[in-house]
Structure 1
Amino acid sequence: MTNQALKVKLLIVEDEILLANDIANRLSDNNYTIVGIADTATKALDLLSKNQDIDMLLIDIVLKGDRDGIELARIINDTYNIPFLFLTSHADSYLIERAKSVRPYAYLLKPFNDRQVSIAIELALKNFAIKIPERQILGKKTFSPTENQVLQIKDSLFLKKNQHFERVPIEEILFLEADSNYCTVYTRTDRFMYSVGLNKIEAQLPQDRFLRIHRSYVVNINLVDGFEGNMLFIGDNKIPVSKSHKETVFRLFRTI
């Protein structure tokens, strides 16, 4: 996969064009891909229909046109299975109650800075991945940008690299390797290191595709090229199979 394909793809829905362009520039500088900018809900829905790989939306609550951002969010909930966060400079109780009704996954109060934008995006992805929307839209956040984040959304893992997330299709993951208190995720084109245990990341992977073959290794069984003795070959890598897992592993490959 190309580096461009790994970038998280965002749609900005904001009718203040100068602000929208500013947000787009900030996010582009932080390795996010901006699929488009829409100043109305209608334009946003058109862009969504033409770009099925959009990962997330940033939506201004107050939009010009027949639908505001809350009504757009309701359509996204009903039609698309993707996260969104709200942008707003309004804090009146009626608007907040309406916004809470569509279960946003994060929010940004205008004005905001680069750090706040990045944290809000990470928070929304995290909340969406664990299916916990931001019910208290102005509530206190417990998210820290220094947290180790491994998020599963649809058929991809969102993996943290250099202070931003990259979207890695699960089918692109070769194997996981544990080393002391660290775990490294190896993909076809890159690797991601985390200061978490192997079990935590293994739990995010589909059990029918990934198999523990050693206390330090979990492999994508669909990408095993061959084996010899107690070693599995995955691309240019030789992965050891421990005695305790050997019977289970090689019984599986004898049945393929």
Structure 2
Amino acid sequence: MIRCLLVDDEPWALELLTSYISRLPSLQLVAATTKPLEALSLAVPAKTDLIFLDIQMPELNGLQFMQAIDQRCKVIITSAYTEYAVAGFEHNVTDYLLKPISFDRFCKAIQKATSQLTAQEPPPVASHIFVKTDNKLVKVDFAEILYLEGARDYVFIHTVTDKLVTLDSLRNFEDILPSSRFVRIHKSFVAAIDKIDAVEKSRVIIGENILPIGESHKQAFLAAINKSRGS
């Protein structure tokens, strides 16, 4: 099953590709969105194999989007313009579909993607994420993160040198961040395992920060700590 993500600022284009995907049992639609920044949170190997990506979009164009995901997913460009073809293939895109896209041409692109996904080596492990804050995307290295703090509709990312705030959910970050490096310790906190200096009763100490351990998360947290000790 190939998990597909559709990113296009034109709703009619999303509807067409959604209908094409529904006709092929080998494809599964993860999401269809007109918001490229929203799509970034889904463009990771655990959730998406193949992205159908428009080029000309507000907030973030297709070329910038591909730079952000850094080849962690296969990409098929969907555009009404031919002038982006060279730039697209410089990003190793699987195919370049010109709008309006016929079902036959769509199927040929899927055949290419299937061959590449079947033959490819395991994707490189991500070392960073891009976070939207202050109307820009900021690269945050996993190695710099101390812990994340959820507060209603916002997440505060506490790093070695900074504190960033983004409009998002802690659950979403928990899904994105590698479980080998981060663990949920409380309904409001996710901690970087390698930044934990001590565990004392029902709290975690990270530098000068003391974070609570929620009772419902305690068992999974201790299991993650024990696994880290054995690695």
Q: Give the structure with higher Rg (CA).
A: 1
Taking structure 1 as the reference length, the TM-score comes to 0.44
